[in-house]
Amino acid sequence: MHANASFQVEEELARDLQQMKLRLQGTPGSYSPLPHSLDWFASHVHLLIVPFLEAEVNQELVFQLLSFIIQEDLLYYLANNIHKLPFESRKDAQVIFSTAFRYKPVGASDPQVLHHVIQFRPEIIISLCRGYDRRESAMPCGGVLREALKYDSIAALLLYDEPTTDGKTRDLGDVNPDEPSSGNGVFWRFFDWIDKGAFEVSADAFNTFRDILTKHKALVAQYLQTNFDMFFTRYNAVLVQSESYVTKRQSIKLLGEILLDRANYSVMTQYVDSGEHLKIIMKLLRDDRRMINYEGFHVFKVFVANPNKSVAVQRILISNREKLLRFLPNFLEDRTDDEQFMDEKSFLIRQIEQLPGVPVAPPAAA
């Protein structure tokens, strides 16, 4: 490409991007100009991604394009307005985000754009989460988020987000992980998105929620310890006891996954010490939906197998010993081909049979 031609391309790009930004921003006070220029917008967003899709990517052009995008802060406006875009353009926008976040210059090992975003414009990540507020934007935003969640700094950004007076997202450097969360940051909004959203929104939000909680174990273990009570109170109330079958079933399963992760060991011991938690889980065993029973079983077994059961837990198990011993043998008895389940069930029966007659304070609890 001639220097001149390349310069022209750049000129055009810069102009287009500025136009795009203006249209996304809208003029305060006036109606949004977007609906009237959807076609223009769609074709231009699509033109933007063309260089990203070409088989032989023109590295230089991609670099130029991304520089302009960052310079114009286009990602921010895009993240906030993705729901206004027409159908195919929303997917194009997702491609722009993914390509930008994945972009590494030749030879570099760091995703530069993502760096920049985390460092100077974390609001973009928060705005992407807010995409769950609307059905149109939920999936493209969710896709981008989950890809970015490969990096623990993104998970940290979401977990430690707090509302600020100036509306700016707080700097990760200011975070004291021992300080409990206010419960008003963006992470806590996931509970609502999962519980209240339409099926597609809820399902996508749950996938992102699960990624936040399972991808970066040490980070999450610390977070859960600091915010143990608030997290599990909400988790139990909103998710495990959700009216929605899908939410309920998925979150019981995720609960099992969180508890059984060795990184979360002390969270697990704290969780299974609570009689209230056990009550909630035991009710799941009696739910009239079999898969709820099944997922509940996988949490219940952790309480029973715990060699150092708390007094509260022992008390519940002991006062229900007879009932449990009558109940468990017939519990999901048609799962005969699930060998592991059968083994675990007989193990639990054995454990319950061997419980002492009255609760005994666990030796380690001193």
Residues 49-78 that bind another protein (CB under 8 A): 52-53
Name residue, tokens 């609502």: 192
Contact assessment for residue 280 and residue 235, using Cβ atoms and an 8 Å cutoff: no
Of 14-22, 62-70, 181-189, 354-362, the window that binds another protein (rule: CB under 8 A) is 354-362
Least distance from C-beta 4 to another protein, angstroms? 30
What one-letter code names the amino acid at 285? L
Q: Which residues contact 350 (CB under 8 A, 6 or more apart)?
A: none
Q: Is 358 in the site for another protein (CB under 8 A)?
A: yes
Of 32 and 214, nearer to another protein (C-beta) is 214
Total site size for another protein, rule CB under 8 A: 118
Of 24-32, 75-83, 180-188, 337-345, the window that binds another protein (rule: CB under 8 A) is 337-345
Tokens of 194: 């999962």
* List 8, 171, 182, 237, residue binding another protein (CB under 8 A): 171
Binders of another protein among residues 151 to 170 (CB under 8 A) are 151-153, 156, 160
Of 11 and 180, nearer to another protein (C-beta) is 180
Q: What single DSSP character describes residue 171?
A: P
What one-letter code names the amino acid at 192? D
Of 96 and 156, nearer to another protein (C-beta) is 156
Which of 188, 98, 112 shows the shortest CA–CA distance to 145? Answer: 98
Contact assessment for residue 226 and residue 180, using Cβ atoms and an 8 Å cutoff: yes
Tokens of 317: 């198990």
Q: Is 5 in the site for another protein (CB under 8 A)?
A: no
Least distance from C-beta 160 to another protein, angstroms? 6
Least distance from C-beta 244 to another protein, angstroms? 6
Least distance from C-beta 19 to another protein, angstroms? 25
Of 12 and 343, nearer to another protein (C-beta) is 343
- Work out the burial of residue 138: count CB atoms within 10 Å of its CB; fewer than 13 is exposed, 13-18 middle, 19 or more buried: buried
What one-letter code names the amino acid at 148? A
Helix ranges, 84-151 (H): 87-102, 112-120, 123-130, 135-148
Binders of another protein among residues 267 to 296 (CB under 8 A) are 267, 269, 279, 282-283, 286, 288-291
